[in-house]
């Protein structure tokens, strides 16, 4: 798809904001520290079609107001000793771009993640020194039909998914002329940011060990070379309930959640589609929100990363041959490990590391080396409960929302489907040779 960039602006806070250096927590500085893309598509009726100039003016004005409250986003990161990062709150601003394309929204089909859509997202130039690189990029692309795409690339070193959506929701409220709903809480010392180590970890932290390799391989280099492909697989509310009913057969405890069941289903189907040997070790990486798990809980408007990774592991033969309840139980057991003590142990583990680089997914910043979580492994993130849908900047709600395009084998996000109907969408990246088999197993397993 050909997209032409027309204009760009550096948007700064509308008023003076706090200026100074902020220490980042260990949750901020590990795993993905690059920019995370998301995109929203809007379709307008001909009678209410706003001009691009009015849309841009609304976005610029409201964003400038939003940055007064969410001022860390207008700052810059800085490397310090031990491959650690700190945040310079200097009001340098964010980048807003205007673009256009001759394509129509209908040309995009079901909006499945694809390299063809890359031009709809802001391009982040990681050759720029990190202390000059904006933390937020926004791109508005106008289609020939009058519809628009509004995409974001936001630094994962500053916010996780919940905080990013919190910012977008508040920005949209300001764009509609409404007041700020909740003032963000910026003190990262709630997660001991910048503090020296005071203890050693008290738990085993498998998430920091190298993930399993395919049997017979001594490295993941060959797997990294394989072509990948994205898919958006939809589950109706009825299909989700069918999976839950299937998983809860033989379950002696409380009913399995949608996330536990769908994640277990994805893990089984991925193992089958990849054609693993029975004894193949496989890891499932799960992200757990610790805001309400910490003692005391974090403030509701905490603005930053508050995610801890945990590993469910097994062998593919067990994952594929045993009942879905067995796999869902393994997912639940991993999630239940994450207590306040476990989260603090994770922080202790990282604080005792002289260098964090081997725990950072920083390919775009420094090199192509680093942990590989593709075949035979998987990472499944839940966005089910996030306020993803209904993002209205004053011209109505989106017709579709999607995570950004990327190429990492094994990445998977579970999203809510249409607003309020109980459906889900699974956005997954797999090696191209495994995609058709995965789709086949994904829907066959629900019916049987």
Whole-angstrom distance between the N-terminal and C-terminal Cα of the chain? 40
Q: Tokens 């190298």 — which residue? A: 210
Q: What is the pTM of this model?
A: 0.93
Q: Is the Cβ–Cβ distance between 359 and 353 less than 8 Å? A: yes
- What count of other Cβ atoms lies within 10 Å of the Cβ of residue 4? 11
| Tens digits of pLDDT across the chain (448 residues) | 899 999 999 999 999 999 999 999 999 999 888 999 999 999 986 666 677 789 999 999 999 999 999 999 999 999 999 999 999 999 999 999 999 999 999 999 888 777 788 899 999 999 999 999 999 999 999 999 999 999 999 999 999 999 999 999 999 999 999 999 999 999 999 999 999 999 999 999 999 999 999 999 999 989 989 999 989 999 999 999 999 999 998 777 899 999 999 999 999 999 999 999 999 999 999 999 999 999 999 999 999 999 999 999 999 999 999 999 999 999 999 999 999 999 999 999 999 999 998 888 765 444 455 567 899 999 999 999 888 999 999 999 999 998 886 668 999 999 998 777 889 999 999 999 999 999 999 999 887 6
DSSP 3-state assignment of 10? Answer: strand
DSSP of 61-100, one letter per residue? HHHHHHHHHSGGGGSEEEEEGGGEEEEEE----EEEEEEE
- 258 Cβ contact list (under 8 Å, min separation 6): 240, 244, 384, 424
Q: Tokens 């990282």 — which residue? A: 350
Give me the sheet containing 136-142, strands edge to edge: 3-11, 94-101, 136-142, 148-155, 35-42, 400-403
Q: Is the Cβ–Cβ distance between 374 and 220 less than 8 Å? A: yes
CA distance 147 to 104: 8
DSSP 3-state assignment of 342? Answer: helix
- Domains along the chain? 3-191 (3.30.559.10), 206-445 (3.30.559.10)
Q: Is the Cβ–Cβ distance between 113 and 50 less than 8 Å? A: no
Active-site amino acid positions: 156, 392
Q: Per the structure block, which two tokens stand in for 18? A: 């706090």
Q: What pLDDT score does 366 carry?
A: 46
């Amino acid at each position: 798809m050909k997209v032409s960039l027309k204009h760009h602006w550096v948007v700064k806070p509308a008023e003076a904001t706090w200026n100074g250096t902020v220490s980042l927590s260990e949750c901020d500085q590990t795993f993905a520290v690059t920019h995370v893309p998301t995109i929203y598509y809007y379709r307008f009726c001909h009678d209410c079609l706003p001009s691009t100039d009015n849309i841009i003016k609304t976005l610029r004005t409201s964003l400038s107001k939003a940055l007064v409250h969410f001022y860390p986003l207008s700052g810059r990161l800085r490397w310090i000793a031990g491959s650690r990062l700190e945040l310079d709150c200097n009001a340098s601003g964010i980048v807003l771009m205007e673009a256009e394309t001759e394509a129509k929204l209908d040309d995009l089909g079901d909006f499945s993640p694809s390299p063809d859509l890359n031009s709809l997202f802001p391009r982040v130039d990681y050759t720029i020194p990190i202390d000059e690189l904006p933390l937020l990029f926004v791109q508005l692309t106008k289609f020939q039909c009058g519809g628009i795409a509004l995409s974001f690339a936001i630094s994962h070193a500053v916010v996780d998914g919940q905080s990013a959506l919190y910012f977008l929701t508040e920005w949209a409220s300001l764009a509609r002329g409404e007041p700020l709903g909740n003032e963000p809480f910026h003190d990262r010392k709630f997660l001991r940011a910048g503090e020296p180590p005071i203890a050693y970890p008290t738990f085993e932290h498998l998430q920091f060990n190298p993930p399993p390799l395919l049997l017979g391989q001594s490295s993941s280099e060959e797997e990294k070379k394989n072509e990948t492909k994205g898919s958006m697989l939809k589950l109706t509310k009825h299909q989700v309930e069918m999976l839950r009913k299937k998983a809860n057969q033989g379950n002696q405890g409380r009913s399995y959640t949608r996330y536990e069941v769908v994640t277990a289903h994805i893990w089984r189907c991925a193992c089958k589609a990849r054609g693993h040997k029975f004894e193949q070790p496989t890891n499932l990486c799960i992200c757990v929100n610790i805001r309400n798990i910490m003692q005391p809980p974090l403030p509701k408007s905490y603005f930053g990363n508050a995610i801890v990774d945990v590993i469910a592991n097994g062998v593919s033969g067990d994952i594929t041959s045993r009942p879905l309840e067995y796999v869902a139980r393994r997912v639940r057991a991993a999630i239940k490990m994450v207590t306040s003590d476990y989260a603090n142990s994770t922080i202790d583990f990282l604080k005792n590391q002289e260098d964090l680089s081997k725990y950072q997914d920083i390919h775009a910043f420094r090199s192509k080396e680093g942990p590989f979580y593709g075949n035979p492994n998987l990472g499944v993130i839940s966005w089910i409960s996030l306020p993803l849908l209904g993002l209205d900047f004053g011209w109505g709600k989106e017709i579709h929302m999607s995570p950004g395009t990327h190429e990492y084998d094994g990445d998977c996000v579970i999203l809510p489907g249409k607003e309020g109907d109980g459906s889900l969408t699974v956005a997954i990246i797999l090696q191209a040779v495994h995609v058709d088999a995965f789709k086949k197993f994904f829907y066959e397993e629900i019916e049987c």
